C-alpha cells in the first residue's frame, strides 16, 4: 500500500514516554472502595489525560467516578461469586473511571459460561436477553441499569473470514491480553473493585498513549476493525498512537476489506462524533487507512499544488471541519453538536475537486462543477458505507449546495433568489449556514470580513422574509384541488405543471393573493393554447 504523504500525527519520543510512564506492574494495587462524592468529576481536557495524583495515581479520580455506580452492580458481583464464578467490570467503563468520567456502558466479563451467566442474570434483573450467546454475551436490565456480560474468551479472524472464531478462556488476565488496546485492557473485579491491569493500561492512560497488549500486527490481523478503533480512540481520547501501532495500521489496512461495511461505518461515525475528529482522520490518511475506508478524502492530498496556484484542499477540508464543529450549537440551538450530517458534509464538500481540476493557459486553476460532482461522489461513498438513506440524502444535498452563496457575495440577490435558496435548503438551512461560513479559510482578512458580512446580510434578509411571509412553509395561493376546479381538468401531469408555475410566481413576487393567482393561472393556461 502506498502511504499518503500527509503530515504525520504526533508520536511521543521514547524519552518522553519513559518519563511519563512508571514501570508497568503485572498487577496494580487494589482500588479503595468508592466514597461518596458531592459533584460529578470533571471531564478530562482535550490536550491530555488528567495529571497523575501524588501517591495514589489516578485512583482518587476513579474513586469519585466509581461512586456513581449503582449498588445493584455490587449485588450482581456477589451473586456471581456466591455461585463460584468471577466477574469484573472491563474495558471502556474502567478506562473512563480513571479519566474521571462516570461509567455508563456497564460491560462485564466472567468465568461463567453463557448458560450459567444467563441463569444468574435472570434472577438478578428485571429482564434478560441473548445479545450474542454464540459469542458468550448475555444482556440484562435492572431498573434503569443495563449490563452486558461476556464469558472470558479469545478470538481471531480466520484468513478471508469476516467473523471471528470464538473460544472461551479461563482467566481474567488471559481475557484482557486479547483486547484491542492496553487502556481498554483493565478490569475491576466485582464486588470489591480490585484493579487488574496485566498490560500496563493505567501507565499508558497516564501517558496518553495508544498501545496494543500484543504485537500490533498480530492484534490487527486477529481483528482488523481494531485499525479503525485506533483512529477513533485517537480522536475520542486525544491520545498519541505508538509508532508500531501506526506502522501496523499501514501494513494491515487492506485487511479492513474483510470487515463488513456496517461495522466500519459504525467506527467512522464514532470517530466523527468525537471531540477531535481531525486527529483520527489525519491518522487514517497518513497510514493509508483512508484509501480503503474514505478514498475521496485521501485523494485530496494529491491536489497539493507545488506551484501554489490554489490552496491545499486537504488542509482546507480539515480546517472547514474544525470551523464547522465550532459553529455547532448547544442542545437547545438549531444544530446541536456533535452533528454527524454537518461533520460529514464538511469533510466531503470538496471531494469533487480532484476530478474537476483544470489548469488554464494563464496559470489559474478551476474546479468548475465540483459541487455537483462531489455530491454524486458523496452519495456513492456513503451508500457503500451503509449510512442510512436520510443521512446520505442530507449530506449529498449540503455538498451540492455549499457553493450557492458565492453568487450572493459577488452580486447580491433578488428576494426571489433568497426564497429559492431557502426553499432548496429546506430543513438543512441551518446546517447550510454553518457549512458555508466554515468554508471560508482564506488568510486574506479583508476578504474574510467581506464574506462574513455578506453572509450576515443574507441571514438577515432570510429572517426578514421569513417574518413577513412564513418562508419555511411557502406554498402557492392555490392548491391542486383549486387548480383543477379553475381549469376544469382532472388529475394528471398538467396539474403538477400548473402548481409549479404558481410556486415560481410565489417565489418571484411573494404573496400575491388568490385572485391575482387565479388570473395568472388562466393567463398561463391560455398561453398554452389549451
User: What CATH number should be reported for the domain holding residue 67?
Assistant: 3.30.460.10
Q: Is the pLDDT of residue 328 over 70?
A: yes
Q: Is the pLDDT of residue 237 over 70?
A: yes
Q: Give the range with max mean pLDDT: 103-112, 308-317, 472-481.
A: 103-112
Band (pLDDT 50/70/90 cuts) for residue 400 is: very high
**What gap in Å lies between CA 28 and CA 196, rounded to an integer?**
6
Q: Once rounded to an integer, what is the mean pLDDT over residues 138-161? A: 81
Q: Is the pLDDT of residue 158 over 70?
A: no
Structural contact between residues 90 and 108, judged by C-beta atoms closer than 8 angstroms: yes
Tell which residue, 97, 315, 119, 89, has the closest CA to residue 189: 89
Check residue 326 and give its pLDDT.
96
Q: Once rounded to an integer, what is the mean pLDDT over residues 253-263? A: 95
Residues 42 and 169 in one domain: yes
Band (pLDDT 50/70/90 cuts) for residue 14 is: very low
Q: Is the pLDDT of residue 392 over 80?
A: yes
Q: Once rounded to an integer, what is the mean pLDDT over residues 155-171? A: 66
**What gap in Å lies between CA 70 and CA 57, rounded to an integer?**
24
Residues 40 and 58 in one domain: yes
Q: Is the pLDDT of residue 381 over 60?
A: yes
Q: Average model confidence (pLDDT) for the chain?
A: 84
Q: Which DSSP letter does residue 412 get?
A: -
Check residue 289 and give its pLDDT.
97
Point out which residues pair with 140 in neighbouring strands. 128, 147
Residues 492 and 455 in one domain: no
More confident residue, 281 or 18: 281
The owner of cell 434472577 is 123
Q: Once rounded to an integer, what is the mean pLDDT over residues 322-337? A: 94
Check residue 304 and give its pLDDT.
67
Last residue of a domain, which of 166, 199, 232? 199
Band (pLDDT 50/70/90 cuts) for residue 165 is: low
Residues 405 and 508 in one domain: no
Residues 136 and 74 in one domain: yes
Band (pLDDT 50/70/90 cuts) for residue 274 is: very high
For 178-194, give one letter per residue: b (16+ CB within 10 A) or e.
bbbbbbbbbbbbbbebe
Band (pLDDT 50/70/90 cuts) for residue 359 is: confident
Lowest model confidence (mean pLDDT) among 19-33, 132-146, 194-208: 19-33
More confident residue, 308 or 265: 265
Question: Residue 209 has which C-alpha cell?
Answer: 498513549
* Domain boundaries, position 506: 480-527
Q: Is the pLDDT of residue 61 over 60?
A: yes
Residues 507 and 404 in one domain: no
Check residue 80 and give its pLDDT.
97
- 204 falls within a domain: no
Q: Is the pLDDT of residue 11 over 50?
A: no
Residues 32 and 91 in one domain: yes
Report pLDDT digits (tens) over 173-210.
999 999 999 999 999 999 989 999 999 999 999 999 99
Strand 127-132 to strand 187-189: parallel, antiparallel, or no bridges (unpaired)?
unpaired
Band (pLDDT 50/70/90 cuts) for residue 58 is: very low
Lowest model confidence (mean pLDDT) among 16-30, 218-232, 453-467: 16-30
Check residue 44 and give its pLDDT.
40
- 230 falls within a domain: no
Last residue of a domain, which of 172, 199, 226? 199
More confident residue, 25 or 133: 133
Check residue 310 and give its pLDDT.
54
Band (pLDDT 50/70/90 cuts) for residue 509 is: confident
Residues 466 and 485 in one domain: no
**How many structural domains does the chain have?**
3
- 279 falls within a domain: no
Band (pLDDT 50/70/90 cuts) for residue 166 is: low
| Burial degree of 154 (CB within 10 A; 0-12, 13-18, 19+) | middle
Q: Once rounded to an integer, what is the mean pLDDT over residues 88-117? A: 92
Give the 3-state secondary structure of residue 219: helix
Tell which residue, 430, 489, 497, has the closest CA to residue 462: 430
Band (pLDDT 50/70/90 cuts) for residue 503 is: confident
Residues 339 and 461 in one domain: yes
- 151 falls within a domain: yes
- 240 falls within a domain: no
Q: Once rounded to an integer, what is the mean pLDDT over residues 366-391? A: 95
Residues 394 and 489 in one domain: no
Residues 353 and 463 in one domain: yes
- 424 falls within a domain: yes
Last residue of a domain, which of 184, 199, 214? 199
**What gap in Å lies between CA 407 and CA 413, rounded to an integer?**
8
Check residue 442 and give its pLDDT.
83
Check residue 236 and give its pLDDT.
94
Residues 345 and 404 in one domain: yes
- 223 falls within a domain: no
Strand 209-210 to strand 87-90: parallel, antiparallel, or no bridges (unpaired)?
unpaired
Q: Is the pLDDT of residue 507 over 90?
A: no
Tell which residue, 471, 407, 393, 469, has the closest CA to residue 436: 407
Q: Is the pLDDT of residue 212 over 90?
A: yes
Number of H helices, E strands in the chain: 26, 13
Query: E strands within 369-472?
Result: none
More confident residue, 321 or 467: 321
- 88 falls within a domain: yes
Amino acid at each position: 500500500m502506498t502511504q499518503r504523504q500527509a503530515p504525520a500525527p504526533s508520536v511521543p519520543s521514547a524519552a518522553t514516554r519513559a518519563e511519563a510512564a512508571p514501570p508497568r506492574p503485572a498487577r496494580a494495587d487494589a482500588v479503595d472502595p468508592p466514597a461518596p462524592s458531592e459533584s460529578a468529576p470533571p471531564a478530562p481536557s482535550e490536550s491530555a489525560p488528567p495529571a497523575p495524583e501524588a501517591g495514589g495515581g489516578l485512583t482518587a479520580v476513579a474513586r469519585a467516578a466509581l461512586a456513581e455506580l449503582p449498588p445493584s452492580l455490587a449485588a450482581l458481583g456477589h451473586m456471581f461469586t456466591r455461585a463460584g464464578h468471577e466477574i469484573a467490570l472491563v474495558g471502556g467503563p474502567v478506562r473512563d473511571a480513571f479519566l474521571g468520567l462516570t461509567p455508563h456502558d456497564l460491560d462485564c466479563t466472567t468465568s461463567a459460561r453463557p448458560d450459567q451467566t444467563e441463569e444468574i442474570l435472570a434472577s438478578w434483573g428485571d429482564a434478560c436477553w441473548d445479545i450474542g450467546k454464540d459469542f458468550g454475551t448475555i444482556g440484562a436490565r435492572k431498573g434503569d441499569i443495563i449490563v452486558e456480560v461476556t464469558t472470558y474468551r479469545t478470538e481471531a479472524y480466520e484468513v478471508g473470514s469476516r467473523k471471528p472464531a470464538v473460544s472461551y478462556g479461563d482467566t481474567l488476565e488471559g481475557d484482557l491480553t486479547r483486547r484491542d488496546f492496553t487502556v481498554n485492557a483493565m478490569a475491576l473485579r466485582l464486588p470489591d473493585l480490585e484493579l487488574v491491569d496485566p498490560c500496563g493500561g493505567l501507565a499508558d492512560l497516564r501517558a496518553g498513549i495508544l498501545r496494543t497488549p500484543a504485537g500490533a500486527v498480530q492484534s490487527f490481523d486477529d481483528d482488523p476493525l481494531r485499525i479503525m478503533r485506533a483512529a477513533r480512540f485517537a480522536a475520542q481520547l486525544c491520545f498519541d498512537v505508538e509508532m508500531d501501532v501506526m506502522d501496523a495500521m499501514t501494513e494491515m489496512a487492506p485487511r479492513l476489506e474483510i470487515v463488513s461495511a456496517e461495522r466500519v461505518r459504525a467506527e467512522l461515525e464514532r470517530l466523527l462524533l468525537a471531540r477531535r475528529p481531525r486527529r483520527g482522520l489525519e491518522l487514517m490518511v497518513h497510514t493509508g487507512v483512508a484509501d480503503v475506508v474514505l478514498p475521496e478524502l485521501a485523494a485530496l492530498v494529491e491536489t497539493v499544488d507545488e506551484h501554489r496556484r490554489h490552496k491545499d484542499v486537504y488542509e482546507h477540508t480539515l480546517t472547514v471541519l474544525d470551523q464547522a464543529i465550532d459553529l455547532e450549537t448547544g442542545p437547545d440551538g438549531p444544530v446541536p453538536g456533535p452533528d454527524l450530517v454537518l461533520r460529514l458534509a464538511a469533510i466531503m464538500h470538496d471531494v469533487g475537486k480532484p476530478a474537476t481540476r483544470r489548469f488554464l493557459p494563464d496559470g489559474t486553476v478551476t474546479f468548475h462543477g465540483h459541487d455537483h460532482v462531489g455530491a454524486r461522489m458523496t452519495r456513492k461513498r456513503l451508500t457503500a458505507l451503509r449510512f442510512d438513506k436520510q443521512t446520505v440524502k442530507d449530506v449529498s444535498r449540503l455538498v451540492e449546495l455549499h457553493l450557492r452563496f458565492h453568487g450572493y457575495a459577488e452580486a447580491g440577490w433578488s428576494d426571489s433568489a433568497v426564497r429559492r435558496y431557502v426553499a432548496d435548503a429546506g430543513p438543512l438551512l441551518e446546517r447550510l449556514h454553518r457549512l458555508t461560513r466554515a468554508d471560508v479559510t482564506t488568510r486574506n482578512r479583508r476578504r474574510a470580513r467581506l464574506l462574513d458580512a455578506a453572509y450576515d446580510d443574507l441571514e438577515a434578509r432570510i429572517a426578514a422574509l421569513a417574518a413577513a411571509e412564513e418562508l419555511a412553509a411557502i406554498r402557492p395561493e392555490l392548491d391542486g384541488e383549486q387548480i383543477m376546479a379553475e381549469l376544469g381538468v382532472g388529475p394528471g401531469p398538467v396539474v403538477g405543471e400548473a402548481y409549479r408555475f404558481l410556486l415560481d410566481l410565489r417565489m418571484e413576487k411573494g404573496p400575491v393573493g388568490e385572485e391575482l393567482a387565479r388570473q395568472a393561472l388562466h393567463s398561463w393556461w391560455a398561453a398554452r393554447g389549451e
